[in-house]
């Protein structure tokens, strides 16, 4: 574990655990919303420009969704209710991990207290329903914006961010499993996939690929790890296509058990698409985990994934809709042991060089330090 000279106070605006890795989490008690009757007029009188800026931004564009409107309300309410506390405590910096509700709170807190803020902006929070209602205002006001992919950085610039204020610092792993230098593909072929069972992960496309594998006479076992609203649909499709003997939905399992599945598998398969609400992947952490475990990745073309994987070098990238290309990639790895192990080793090396949690955390800490001292 990396230790840096920083004191963290963690706040959750929407439930969650009472602690995180030994640190207390202060959870926003919603009963306090009644205090808005007193504190909203108080801060409106003290900092009228802060609220003019906020409401001007809301007035300029349509509400993305009712859910996002609720997030804006909770974020603004938290800032109003806690601004007095932070004015007295004077933290050096506010950081919001997401561009939605947390960044709304951080931006208004910054305007009310004069303390700088930064924000994360990654995938769902900047793409779903066209992005957060106040995203352009946040991008301009933030001391810096942390994102994890070049694709997200380009999108944020299009939404009004200054490119000099964007810090592309990838997620990282603080644990590297033992890596075998050689691996022989088993019989039957063992395939694993990890991800929430939601539209953008497109596990239905995976099932179509598995049907094609059966048609080719390839013996295989596939395990899909994760839970989510698509579970019943996926189970029904697996049964309908007579794949019960080949494809298993494992549900949610903890991280240690996930790494056990990486060790079991021969290939990691990852499908993805842009969901109907605009939501999409960045660089999924499970891609980095599988690469670190020395498991060859076959993944759909996607900006956040293509930044990590160079096809034929440290993984294989396939057009999502091209069934024949998926089958060729899978069978090609089975038949070419030299390519198989080259991809395994190169994947591990890429993660060690680019996704080391200790190195990337130190880079992010330096951004916080610079912003607090500006």
Look up tokens 């990654």; give the residue. Answer: 122
- Nearest Cα to 174, choosing from 343, 368, 365, 359? 359
Is the whole model's pTM more than 0.95, yes or no?
Answer: no
Angle, CA of 232, 226 and 154, to the nearest 5°: 110
pLDDT along the chain (374 residues), means of 10: 82 90 92 96 97 94 93 97 96 96 98 97 90 95 96 95 95 83 81 96 95 94 96 96 96 93 95 91 92 95 93 94 92 91 94 92 92 82
The two structure tokens encoding residue 261: 């599945």
Locate the domains of the chain by residue range: 10-172+357-373, 189-354
Coil/strand/helix, residue 364? helix
What is the structure's pLDDT at 2? 65
What is the structure's pLDDT at 247? 97
The two structure tokens encoding residue 217: 């006479």
Could you report how far apart the first and last alpha carbons of the chain are, in Å? 28
Q: Report how far residue 215's alpha carbon sits from residue 206's, in angstroms, rounded to the nearest whole number.
A: 14
The two structure tokens encoding residue 129: 């329903």
What is the structure's pLDDT at 175? 82
Q: What is the CATH number of domain 189-354?
A: 3.40.50.2000
What is the structure's pLDDT at 1? 58
Coil/strand/helix, residue 310? coil
What is the structure's pLDDT at 91? 95
Backbone φ and ψ of 311, nearest 5°: -60, 130
Q: CATH homologous superfamily of domain 10-172+357-373?
A: Glycogen Phosphorylase B; (3.40.50.2000)
Cα Rg of the chain (Å, integer)? 23
What is the structure's pLDDT at 320? 86
What is the structure's pLDDT at 234? 97
């Amino acid at each position: 574990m990396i230790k840096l000279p920083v004191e963290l106070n963690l706040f959750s605006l929407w439930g969650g655990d009472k602690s995180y890795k030994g640190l207390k989490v202060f959870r926003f008690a919603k009963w306090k919303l009644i205090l808005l009757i007193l504190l909203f007029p108080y801060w409106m009188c003290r900092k009228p420009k802060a609220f003019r800026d906020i409401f001007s931004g809301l007035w300029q564009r349509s509400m993305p969704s009712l859910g996002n409107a609720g997030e804006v309300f909770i974020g603004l309410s938290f800032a109003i209710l806690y601004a007095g506390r932070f004015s007295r405590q004077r933290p050096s910096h506010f950081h919001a991990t997401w561009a939605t509700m947390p960044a709304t709170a951080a931006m208004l807190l910054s305007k009310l207290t004069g303390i700088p803020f930064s924000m994360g902006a990654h995938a769902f929070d900047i793409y779903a329903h066209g992005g957060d209602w106040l995203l352009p205002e946040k991008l301009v006001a933030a001391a810096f914006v942390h994102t994890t992919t070049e694709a997200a950085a380009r999108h944020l610039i299009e939404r009004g961010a200054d490119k000099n204020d964007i810090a592309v610092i990838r997620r990282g792993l603080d644990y590297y499993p033992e890596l075998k230098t050689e691996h022989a593909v088993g019989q039957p072929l063992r395939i694993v996939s990890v991800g929430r069972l939601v539209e953008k992960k497109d596990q239905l496309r995976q099932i179509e690929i598995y049907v094609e594998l059966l048609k080719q006479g390839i013996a295989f076992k596939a395990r899909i790890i994760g839970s989510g609203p698509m579970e019943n649909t996926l189970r029904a499709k697996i049964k309908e296509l007579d794949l019960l003997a080949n494809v298993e939905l494992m549900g949610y399992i903890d991280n240690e058990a996930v790494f056990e599945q990486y060790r079991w598998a021969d290939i990691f398969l990852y499908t993805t698409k842009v969901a109907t609400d605009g939501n999409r992947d960045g660089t999924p952490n499970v891609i980095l985990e599988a690469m670190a475990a020395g498991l060859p990745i076959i993944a759909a073309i996607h900006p956040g994934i293509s930044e990590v994987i160079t096809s034929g070098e440290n993984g294989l990238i396939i057009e999502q809709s091209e069934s024949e290309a998926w089958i060729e990639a899978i069978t090609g790895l089975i038949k070419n042991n030299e390519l198989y192990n080259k991809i395994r080793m190169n994947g591990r090396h890429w993660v060690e060089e680019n996704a080391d949690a200790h190195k990337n955390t130190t880079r992010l800490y330096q951004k916080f330090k610079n912003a607090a001292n500006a």
